[in-house]
Chains A and B, each alone.
Chain A
Amino acid sequence: MYPFKYHKAATVRGAVAILKKAEEPKLLAGGQTLIPTMKQRLASPKALVDLAGAGLSGIEQKGRTIVIGAMTTHAEVANSAVVQAAIPALAKLAGHIGDPQVRHRGTIGGSVANNDPAADYPAALMALGATVHTNKRKLAAEEFFAGLFSTALDEDEIVTKVAFPVPGKAGYVKFPNPASRYAIVGVFVAKKGRSVRVAVTGAGSDGVFRHEAMEEALGKRFNPKSLDGIATPAGNLNGDIHASAEYRAHLIGVIAKRAVAAAA
């Protein structure tokens, strides 16, 4: 690891101030992706701004919306009675990110800001139509995610919370990579009124994406059978040693059905 200067921010405003003046800074949330990357000298920020003390943690229900602070850990989301009652699929998703130790430190804000194409949260944000709150603005999930490892965030912009509208029903199923346990394919389905959203993570060569053909079919009838015969073109999918694009395309169909069946 290369040396860096460590800053601990007491407020979001304080963090922004450090971001603006520090040389090549990076925000430190849970660090569960960033630290291994730095250890392998694949990332070399000259300064880290730790958000742990910036008051960004917490879960609350505001009407029909669940608002989760950016520094809320995966374990906190998974075990939250509020999330479990309102969006059980989201609690389940959080409860299967990484492993128990990673869930104790990894945060929702860190995950969405990193936008790893194999991460779980982006699928939930997209399918549930979540809104990402930053210190500057509010962004719909679809505006926020901007392809592999990139987001709409400015350099001095910090994710402060994520607001999830409570769906009628939602389900998430992940097909994990046998080694890393990241998603090879993860499908989040959410039904709100007559509208259905299907978001796929792990598979797209451009990161998380919505599956319009599936949304249309499920909008007519929210049943796994509705997905029969809906193929996913392999052209825009990832291929690696664990799963070719063709296999991923196939898995999307299978996993989507299972997500619909699991929806609650």
Chain B
Amino acid sequence: MPTVTLTVNGRQVSADVDARTLLVQFLRENLRLTGTHVGCDTSQCGACVVHVDGKAVKSCTTFAVQCEGADVVTIEGLAKDGKLHPMQEAFREHHGLQCGFCTPGMIMSAVDIVNRKGAVDEATIREELEGNICRCTGYHNIVRAVEAGALAMTGKAPARQAAE
């Protein structure tokens, strides 16, 4: 079995894995980081989105062995020192989640959108959320959350205030 060594949420981890282990399985089963979810088999739904070397990817469509030496951040690693990431804060403030299942992937994608594009408008957010499916919210409040989270991340407004 190949050995894979990578950094997950700032912590170096190493394990012998069956080569067919997907990154999402590695996170959920080896590391018990169950915040990353699996909602489909065809790389459509985005519940499994994590950041690999700073970029959003679908962890259900990535082998763990492909991540040798990579820096992986999951939903569990987004808050720092007990303080929520502005995008997490914005999702709560704008009711951008209901059942919560798509939420980790949605938030990881949203952070990635802002990392790439800065403060984004509604049309861009809707287009950029192409790879994330939510069945609960109708996306209305997700869009509001990403708008506010983007402003907060880019220093234009705190996520909380933006809701008032």
Contact = CB atoms under 8 A, between A and B. Distances in A.
Interface of A: 1-6, 8, 28, 31-32, 35-36, 38-40, 48, 50, 52, 75, 98-102, 104-105, 179-181
A169 B22 CA distance: 42
Given A102-B58, A104-B55, A180-B42, 5 more contacts: A4-B19, A100-B56, A101-B46, A101-B131, A102-B61
A106 B112 CA distance: 17
Given A6-B63, A31-B66, A35-B63, A101 B19 contact: no
Interface string B1-45: 010000000000000001110100000000000000000011110
**In the complex, which range does the number of interface residues on chain B fall in?**
20 to 34
Contacts of A98: 43, 130-131
A101 B20 contact: no
Nearest to B64: A6
15 contacts: A1-B20, A28-B66, A31-B62, A31-B66, A35-B63, A36-B42, A39-B22, A48-B19, A75-B55, A100-B131, A101-B49, A104-B55, A105-B58, A105-B61, A179-B44
Contacts of A36: 41-43, 61
B63 A99 contact: no
Which of B22, B112, B131 gathers the greatest number of chain A CB atoms within 10 Å? B131
B71 interface: no
Contacts of B57: 101, 104-105
B56 A104 contact: yes
Given A99-B131, A180-B44, A181-B130, A35 B62 contact: yes
A40 B42 CA distance: 9
Interface in B87-129: 109, 112-113, 116, 128
Nearest to B128: A100
B66 A99 contact: no
Interface string B140-159: 00000000000000000000
A6 B109 contact: no
Most buried by A among B55, B61, B62, B65: B61
Point out which of B18, B68, B130, B132 has the most chain A C-beta atoms below 10 A from its C-beta: B130
Contact of B63 (A2, A5, A31, A101): A31
B113 to A, nearest CB: 7
A67 B139 CA distance: 39
A100 B18 contact: no
Contact of B61 (A31, A75, A180, A181): A31
Nearest to B2: A6
Contacts of B131: 98-102
B8 to A, nearest CB: 18
Ranked nearest first, the 5 interchain pairs of A and B with the lowest CB-CB distance are A99-B131, A6-B19, A99-B130, A104-B55, A1-B20
Contact of B130 (A28, A75, A100, A104): A100
A104 to B, nearest CB: 4
A258 B30 CA distance: 50
Contact of A101 (B56, B66, B68): B56
Contacts of B109: 100-101
